Structure 1
Amino acid sequence: MQIRERTKDITFLSYNQTNTCLLVGTKSGYTLWRTDPFDQCTKGFPDHPIHLCEMFFSTSLLAVVCDSSVENFTPRVLYLYNTKIDQVICLLRFNEDIQSVKLNQQYLVVVLKQSIIIYTLEKIEPVCTLDMYFNQTTPLSSETLSGRAPVIALCPHKPILAYPCDPTKGNVCLARLNDPSVVSRTSSSSGAGGTSSVDGETYGSYQILEAHDHPVVALAFRKDGQWLATASARGTIIRVWDTETKEMIMELKRSSVGRTAEIHSLSFSDDGTMLVVSSSSKTIHIFSLQGERKSEKSIAFIRLDQEGISETKHISSFKPDNQIIQV
């Protein structure tokens, strides 16, 4: 499928948690597309430059962040927006630019430059602030933090999140959050995100994966949260980890000749038997993870050779039937 927005430059692309909807952010609002059948559902935030847009499964709830390319808009404000009634139902302000937003059944996660703010989704109440780069081995410099925005993965159905905890190495933090009903509430403050920092026992527990030698740039959970896929800045190797044992399940080779590439997205099939990987190499690689076809090399790939398609990043996923790749 191909979407052309010639008069509205695309600024953001994201599938929802079930891969049944595609959000396309532009410099003049967002468009929501249904993927099966593929058609346009709705538009919103006209004349607003979209920085981030996250959908809550297949509901009418969106988390929207605008950028600062137009006067009076700022990436420091998060809008929780109901598409059915065309109304902002909640607004959150921060002291820093928002780098990423994730939603699952229990939590709203807001990522800033060096911290992660976690809210209960039911009442939009802050529960804790996590220090993102607590595991760094060298002092952080402005040059280190001025590059790629932090990546983060949040399991859709379980309170597990993963994020790089050292911007110069390939270490990943696996944080298991407590159920919102038993999380200890923290006192509010006027700081970024409105919460105070808490220790590990308050929000749950964490483990460190020494996933790669180079900084991690892409993460994805299997639907049940049992496996985590990781990719580094080199883009040649994708690794799949057991989140319980911290053992590596598989090492997948995107390139047989070791050619580096920028990984754009990782996505498990709904049944967890395959992984699709998109990158700057103009190809989409599909890996088999179980059964007789299990292999470290891709079992198939799609070549993106249409004119102009390399001018933007492309993300990929499986449709719920696990038979069709959507790019």
Structure 2
Amino acid sequence: MANESSSSSASSTRILCASFNQDNSGFCVGTKDGFKIFDSETGRLCYQRAVGAFSIVEMLFSSSLLATVGAGEQPSLSPRRLCLFNTKTGKSLKELNFLTSILAVRVNRKRLIVLLQDKIYIYDYNSLAILDTIDTVPNTKGLCAFSPNMDGCFLALPASTTKGSVLVYNVMELHSHCEIDAHRSPLAAMVLSSNGVYIATASEQGTIIRVHVVSEATKSYSFRRGTYPSTIYSLSFGPSLQLPDILVATSSSGSVHVFSLASLINQRSKRSSSLLGSMFPDTVNDVFEPSHHHVLHNAVPAGVKSYAMIRSIEKISEESATYAAAFRASISIITYSGYFLDYSLSIDHLNESSWSLEREFNLLTVLAEDFTNS
């Protein structure tokens, strides 16, 4: 941990954006001074560019290609200009200019998606030809979710400003896929599983998190995060290409919530075999079942924006259907106050959980020291 004076100076350079790449092998942060790229496994600084403030930095897997947007503090870093940048050459490959500020960018090897407040532009990534534009409801927060998998490449957007409905768009085939009515209140967070099969959503109330099957636009699971409202900062599915084992959420309460989908499947299977269980809808019962919910309180300071990602899940063994399979998950958290935390979560066959903090360091301090000493 950095000493008090260095922590104080580092905190004055707050993080403006943070994102993991498509396979979670790396992550980048943007600050008032520039942007930095880290290796998720080791925490090693891989690249740093200190030329001004950035509001968006998106990686293309582990390649040298980035999509960046300035924060507007310098004329050369306009929030209306998207720059495709090569970290190996240190040069810009292409710039795209827009009439209004860019609020989000998503990319895979075939598509580049640029989100403005009320419009989406979809480009062919290689030729940068415009393939489609989508008029959207006002989306001032730039809220969206993206699944980079070619076979299930979806973009999810708010479909309403007054309720929590979601528009799911197929960006490979360029057509609207479905609309999902997820919540009564407007959306605050959403995420697609990497293969595009599931979508998780939270409303501005933040008390209930719902998971839907995208292909059927049906609600599959509902989870109660808590009784009192809280702002959900991030949602993340586990990396499994089948049913994700767990879903993790961070919120303004400072807690990290993990919901075990595997545990819930076993509970649902047992309940549906009983007469009483078959009389009640699964989504009603699921909300009030606590056994699938694991909470780490005070993981980050309350009110500090945070972004969590499930880096890996290791199955310990398979047991009978009586209990969920035991596993250990590595959960990485970036706080916008400038810290990186790596937690290990173990859930045993009795569905009891234990947490341990494996790593913690100040991103801004480490960046400066590593860059100086390299």
Distance 2:298 2:21 in 1: 23
- What is aligned with 1:269? 238
Determine whether 1:282 maps to 2:254: yes
* Structure 1 range deviating more: 83-92 or 70-79: 70-79
Alpha-carbon distance, 1:87 to partner: 1.2
Among 181, 193, 212, the residue aligned to 2:183: 212
- What is aligned with 1:171? 165
Native 8 Å contact 1:229 1:238 kept in 2: yes
Among 16, 19, 22, the residue aligned to 1:17: 22
- Give per-residue Cα distances to partners, 1:149-171, cap 9 Å, x unaligned: 13111111132111001122111
Alpha-carbon distance, 1:312 to partner: 3.0
| One-letter amino acid of the structure 2 residue matched with residue 301 of structure 1 | V
Alpha-carbon distance, 1:23 to partner: 0.9
Native 8 Å contact 1:18 1:320 kept in 2: no
Distance 1:311 1:10 in 2: 15
- Give per-residue Cα distances to partners, 1:180-222, cap 9 Å, x unaligned: xxxxxxxxxxxxxxxxxxxxxxx22331111111111211111
- What is aligned with 1:223? 194
Determine whether 1:151 maps to 2:143: yes
Distance 2:18 2:237 in 1: 18
Between structure 1 and structure 2, the one with the greater Rg is: 2
Native 8 Å contact 1:159 1:177 kept in 2: yes
Native 8 Å contact 2:54 2:77 kept in 1: no
| One-letter amino acid of the structure 1 residue matched with residue 190 of structure 2 | L
- What is aligned with 2:129? 125
Distance 1:205 1:283 in 2: 35
- Give matches, 1:1-327, under 5 Å: 5-44=10-49, 46-133=50-137, 148-157=140-149, 158-179=152-173, 203-255=174-226, 258-271=227-240, 272-291=244-263, 292=266, 296=287, 297=290, 298-304=292-298, 309-310=301-302, 312-321=304-313, 323-327=329-333
Q: Please list every run of 5 or more consecutive structure 1 residues that lacks an aligned counterpart in the other structure.
A: 134-144, 180-202
Native 8 Å contact 1:27 1:47 kept in 2: no
Structure that is richer in helix per residue: 2
Native 8 Å contact 2:254 2:303 kept in 1: no
Q: Could you tell me the percent identity over the aligned residues?
A: 29
SS at match of 1:47: coil
| TM-score normalised over the length of structure 1 | 0.82
SS at match of 1:324: strand
Alpha-carbon distance, 1:311 to partner: 5.6
Alpha-carbon distance, 1:8 to partner: 2.2
| One-letter amino acid of the structure 2 residue matched with residue 325 of structure 1 | I
- CA RMSD of superposed structures (Å): 2.2
Alpha-carbon distance, 1:263 to partner: 0.7
- Give per-residue Cα distances to partners, 1:106-158, cap 9 Å, x unaligned: 2111000101100011211111110112xxxxxxxxxxx5x851311111113
Q: Please list every run of 5 or more consecutive structure 2 residues that lacks an aligned counterpart in the other structure.
A: 269-285, 315-328, 334-374
Q: How many residues align?
A: 287
